[in-house]
Chains A and B, each alone.
Chain A
């Protein structure tokens, strides 16, 4: 049984706007599924339907085996949700919020304090537990939010843009926690605008644009779909370019060279082929000025599927890989 099973899911607002136009997806238990798309693509609407905050107007969805429309209470019982815009009461301390969350989830009074302690420790907030949330940094709030989402050990965890706006250190802390959850067997449905994040964490990625899923697969497969890695080479002097092309053509198909490069060649094995290429050119007497291995990114996938670039795609990789 899939942890999340979505069939023909639709949401039309009263204004007539169709934010989600019939999507299908299945997430296996224990899988981390990355849901990618720019603002306004239908990402948040889809998540709100899956977590029972919004009723679908068409199609169906089950989460942890229960229908989101007809058995919402059973779904809520089994999911944890960290919504991007979900507020934390700034007047309460971290511990008070955790205990409130525990009570709201029906955890028996005797276990509330222990469970709150355990999770506060797990996200590294023990030192700050007695402080009001108003004094927390952005990263601390996200960590507390994540801990609150985990209070009842959910089978399926929804993370809505968990690292948007975070500094690199906080981001990598959260990533580590997601990896730990995956190791524990928790299914994670992760929405993000950051390709790097999906690439790092997700087993599979779905790309949504204009209310439809336009691509789905493992990050590697999606990247392979848009093209092979290629080497862009430029030379120090003005050599015999046709000779260089002939040599490089043995490694793979030649491509039109981008600005600043003299020759570009597709290399199916990527980085492994750098050394042989350099050796061949060296032996033929070419002086290589620069050599760059360009691998397709999820942004290339996104651009190819939607004709647009993702927001945040231009950002430098934020965390150590």
Chain B
């Protein structure tokens, strides 16, 4: 099964690289938003209750990264939906490949892309004056959390694609993704949020994910937020992969 997963993952990666126009928005939109937020809200770090940071960029990097990873999930969903629309997916299902391998192949590719997204935003932050206080260990932890989260978001996208079966519906979930992100502490400290984000953020796994990604940037590694972030990433992945497999079964039954 492993060679099949790797082959499918490689195919997904190559597909990504050959269509950079689909991949570029994953980093470009969050980068733009990051620039606007940092440029517009740089003076908010002085507000009472804001954690001690070198600058608003250091704080915002994790938010941009979380946004980018979520968009990665949407793009995985679109790629899967296009595969279903184009008929390639049926060919896969008709072959003796284990069902789970079909799901896993594209998710492995999504995870690799997530790794690239992590490195992009860290490099971007360093280039514009942020520091990564957690050092090499911090970078490795961010990579770990980011790549696991990449699997989870990819699985969500794929599950939706398997249900919806067409790319434009998957595209339509994009505003929803933003909504969930806005009611988390990804972009602003949890204590400074206003209604309705303040009450929801506490239960939003994206809050823990973003805080886990943020901690190694703004301070030396403190295990509580990092482990919470890791737990959030793993939790999202397990649930989403379960949904993805269920959706695949549902599709096979319908077909």
Contact present between A and B (CB < 8 A):
no
What residues make up the interface of A, taking CB atoms closer than 8 Å to B?
Answer: none
What residues make up the interface of B, taking CB atoms closer than 8 Å to A?
Answer: none
